[in-house]
């Protein structure tokens, strides 16, 4: 069978896998191949146990894999045989040298560019899907356009805005698709080719275009704004706890202003995930690089407040539990950085677990999807940690439960039974404000929400 277009994605991670599955699903007339350097990841994509959990992903992959979606480790053949190449490799925070702890580590990205250069026998459109510092496309162009045989490459920026946990619906009905290109004839033609791919299922008015630097920057700014909202409401939650106000009531009143809107106003233990902190620090680094120290300091405070919120959570636990956690059993409900994913990268649970272990608490970690990753995150950390998938069993014999991920299943537990199985007085710290605090208090729990007065039995 011949396909209208042959599309490659380099990087089979949380973005590459679901994004390409959606293109293959919506465009049966295109052949889509996803390659990765990690053979285990590719083997998992080709098996019944996909390497990542996303609601609805199994069904979509099941439909298209082997039909027009293929996973492979043959990067050379992938580059040779495809004309449109998405690059979705990881761009973590650099951990060494200049910019360590701040800027993006671009080694995977550059390696990919050099592979594209080496293995191409025909012109290609190369699409930045990874999140990158502004002006990365310039470096990409300089690497790619140094061929002597006249083969040309067009570099586009097409940042991905999906959110883990709702990736499939975000991909199916995106708020917008952003495509940045050079504003030359070639650049505009490449831009139109990519827009046509998305137009198979996304309404044209949602496919927006811009110059390439605006596109690169928009992704960093988008994540910075989202994280800023979380830090803003979390900062106010600290004030609510001092002033006997209730953060849910404040958020409702504030969010009903149509200029502000109600979303992303839930106080919590803070944001996690592989992107928010990394992308803000990247933005901060860029601002400093351009001498904009005040702008850098403004955005850096979003990360500072996030860590403050997590430390505050520990202080609340310590204060409530008579200033000692040593030898006490604490159950963590949730380890994933948010609900509906098994991803634990930068999860607040990692920081909180480590801090509780420093206090010599004994931990029981529970999560419906993230226990494998939790084990890896806490491997080698001193202290006692058990892993129990069932939330009710996990809480048995514990002095306290700390709810850290807003999994829906935690709303529907048999709390009477849980209360009866715990050491008394039993403490419940709701780090996501999703439980019915009044009811739990009536059952006998001492309840500590975020940004609200605690409900304590004396």
Ligand X SMILES: NC(=O)c1ccc[n+]([C@@H]2O[C@H](COP(=O)([O-])OP(=O)(O)OC[C@H]3O[C@@H](n4cnc5c(N)ncnc54)[C@H](O)[C@@H]3O)[C@@H](O)[C@H]2O)c1
Active-site residue, from 9, 240, 275, 287: 275
Any contact of residue 90 with ligand X (CB under 6 A)? yes
In whole angstroms, how far apart are CA 71 and each of 10, 52, 172, 273? 10, 14, 21, 25
Instruction: Specify the DSSP class assigned to residue 68.
Output: T
Minimum distance from residue 91 beta carbon to ligand X (Å): 4
Q: Which residue is nearest to ligand X (CB)?
A: 13
Phi, psi dihedrals of residue 427, rounded to the nearest 5°: -115, 140
Span near ligand X by CB under 6 A; candidates 33-41, 147-155, 380-388, 395-403 = 33-41
Name which position in 164, 216, 246, 406 contacts ligand X (CB under 6 A). 164
**Rounded-to-integer distance, Cα 380 and Cα 383, Å:** 9
Name which of 88 and 120 has its Cβ closer to ligand X: 88
Residue 303, token pair as written in the block: 């990360």
Name which of 130 and 344 has its Cβ closer to ligand X: 130
Which residues share a beta bridge with 400? Answer: 330, 427
What is the x/- site pattern for ligand X, positions 92-131, by CB under 6 A?
A: ----------------x--xx-----------------xx
Any contact of residue 344 with ligand X (CB under 6 A)? no
Please report, as residue ranges, which positions from 133 to 162 form the binding site for ligand X (by CB under 6 A): 160, 162
In whole angstroms, how far apart are CA 350 and each of 5, 10, 337? 43, 29, 9
How many C-beta atoms surround the C-beta of residue 196 within 10 A? Answer: 12
Name which of 115 and 237 has its Cβ closer to ligand X: 115
What is the x/- site pattern for ligand X, positions 405-434, by CB under 6 A?
A: ------------------------------
Any contact of residue 13 with ligand X (CB under 6 A)? yes
Any contact of residue 274 with ligand X (CB under 6 A)? yes
**Rounded-to-integer distance, Cα 420 and Cα 426, Å:** 9
- 27 counts as catalytic: no
Any contact of residue 41 with ligand X (CB under 6 A)? yes
Please choose, from the candidates 166, 162, 154, 163, the residue with its C-alpha nearest in 3D space to the C-alpha of residue 178.
162
Name which of 41 and 452 has its Cβ closer to ligand X: 41
Minimum distance from residue 402 beta carbon to ligand X (Å): 25
Minimum distance from residue 342 beta carbon to ligand X (Å): 12
Name which position in 7, 8, 9, 14 contacts ligand X (CB under 6 A). 14
Sign, CA torsion 172/177/182/184: positive
Residue 356: which residues within 8 A CB-CB, separation 6 or more? 314, 317, 325, 330, 363
Using DSSP's 3-state secondary structure scheme, residue 23 falls into: helix
Name which of 130 and 157 has its Cβ closer to ligand X: 130
Name which position in 85, 217, 226, 275 contacts ligand X (CB under 6 A). 275
322: region left, alpha or beta (phi > 0 left; psi from -120 to 50 alpha): left
Residue 54: which residues within 8 A CB-CB, separation 6 or more? 14, 18, 164, 165, 167, 168, 340, 341
Using DSSP's 3-state secondary structure scheme, residue 127 falls into: strand
Minimum distance from residue 158 beta carbon to ligand X (Å): 11
H/E stretch holding 153: strand 153-157
Contact by Cβ (8 Å): 311, 302? no
Name which position in 5, 56, 58, 75 contacts ligand X (CB under 6 A). 75
Minimum distance from residue 39 beta carbon to ligand X (Å): 10
Name which position in 33, 91, 157, 237 contacts ligand X (CB under 6 A). 91
Phi, psi dihedrals of residue 148, rounded to the nearest 5°: -90, -15
Name which position in 16, 133, 174, 334 contacts ligand X (CB under 6 A). 16
Name which of 116 and 402 has its Cβ closer to ligand X: 116
| Catalytic residue annotation | 275
Instruction: Give the interface with ligand X as residue ranges (CB under 6 A).
Output: 10-16, 35-38, 41, 75, 88-91, 108, 111-112, 130-131, 160, 162, 164, 274-275
């Amino acid at each position: 069978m011949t396909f209208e277009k042959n599309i490659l994605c380099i990087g089979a991670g949380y973005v590459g896998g679901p994004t390409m599955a959606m293109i293959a699903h919506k465009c049966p007339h295109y052949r889509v191949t996803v390659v990765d350097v990690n053979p285990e990841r590719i083997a998992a994509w080709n098996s019944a146990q996909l390497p990542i959990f996303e609601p609805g992903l199994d069904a979509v992959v099941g439909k298209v894999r082997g039909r027009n979606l293929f996973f492979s480790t043959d990067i050379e053949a992938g580059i040779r045989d495809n004309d449109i190449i998405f690059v979705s490799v990881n761009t973590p925070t650099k951990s060494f040298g200049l910019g360590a702890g701040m800027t993006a580590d671009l080694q995977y990205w550059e390696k990919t560019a050099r592979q594209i250069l080496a293995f191409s026998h025909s012109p290609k459109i190369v699409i930045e899907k990874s999140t990158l510092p502004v002006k990365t496309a310039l470096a990409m162009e300089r690497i790619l356009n140094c061929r002597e045989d006249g083969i040309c490459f067009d570099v586009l920026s097409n940042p991905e805005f999906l959110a883990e946990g709702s990736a499939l619906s975000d991909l199916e009905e995106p708020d917008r698709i952003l495509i940045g290109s050079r504003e030359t004839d070639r650049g505009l033609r490449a831009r139109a080719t990519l827009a046509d791919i998305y137009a198979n299922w996304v309404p044209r008015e949602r496919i927006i275009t811009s110059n390439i630097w605006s596109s690169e920057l928009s992704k960093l700014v988008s994540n910075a704004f989202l994280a800023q909202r979380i830090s803003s409401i979390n900062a106010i939650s600290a004030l609510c706890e001092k002033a006997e106000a209730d953060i849910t009531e404040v958020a409702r009143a504030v969010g009903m202003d149509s200029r502000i809107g109600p979303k992303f106003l839930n106080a919590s233990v803070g944001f996690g995930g592989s992107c928010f902190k990394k992308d803000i620090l990247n933005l901060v680094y860029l601002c400093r690089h351009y001498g904009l120290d005040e702008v850098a300091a403004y955005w850096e405070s979003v990360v500072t407040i996030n860590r403050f919120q997590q430390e505050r959570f520990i202080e609340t636990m310590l204060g409530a539990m008579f200033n000692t956690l040593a030898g006490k059993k604490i159950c963590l409900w949730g380890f994933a950085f948010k609900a509906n994913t098994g991803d634990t990268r930068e999860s607040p649970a990692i920081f909180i677990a480590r801090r509780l272990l420093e206090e010599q608490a004994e931990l029981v970690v529970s999560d419906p999807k993230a226990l494998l990753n939790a084990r890896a995150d806490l491997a080698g950390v001193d202290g006692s940690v058990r892993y129990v998938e069932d939330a009710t069993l996990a809480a048995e014999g514990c002095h306290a439960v700390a709810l850290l991920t807003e999994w829906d299943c935690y709303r529907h537990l048999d709390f009477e039974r849980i209360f009866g199985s715990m050491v008394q007085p039993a403490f419940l710290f709701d780090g996501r404000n999703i439980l019915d605090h009044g009811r739990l208090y009536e059952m006998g729990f001492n309840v500590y929400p975020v940004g609200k007065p605690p409900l304590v039995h004396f």
